[in-house]
Amino acid sequence: MKYDPNSELSEEQLKELSEDDFFAYLDAKAAYLKGNTIPLDEYHIKRFTAITNNGVMTDGDMKRAKKLGMKSEEVRAEKIKEAAKNIKVKKPDLYVKAHKTNRSQWFD
């Protein structure tokens, strides 16, 4: 079953699906939503880890957060690099085409 973001299935339609179709629909929806996300940075990974562990962070948690943060920064850098390839920059004119030479020309 394929996920269509323009026409999502209702609760009744989801209940009517077989188990295999339901999980296929959820997998397709997760793949679609994953394409529009960015990974968390190190700061937010540490915060969410602390929240889930009731404010207790071990050394292992800190090391894991740093590794995940470095991986996410690489992913972000790649996305920025890909987006920068598509940008078309207009080159500015280097020379002034018309300029005023005398002070008397400044006032009309």
List the chain domain ranges: 1-37, 38-83
pLDDT at 98: 64
pLDDT by residue, tens only, the chain of 108 residues: 788 888 888 889 888 889 999 999 899 999 888 887 888 888 998 998 899 888 888 899 899 999 999 999 998 899 889 888 888 877 776 666 666 666 665 555
CA distance to 62, 63, 79, 99, per residue, from 73 (Å): 16, 15, 10, 47
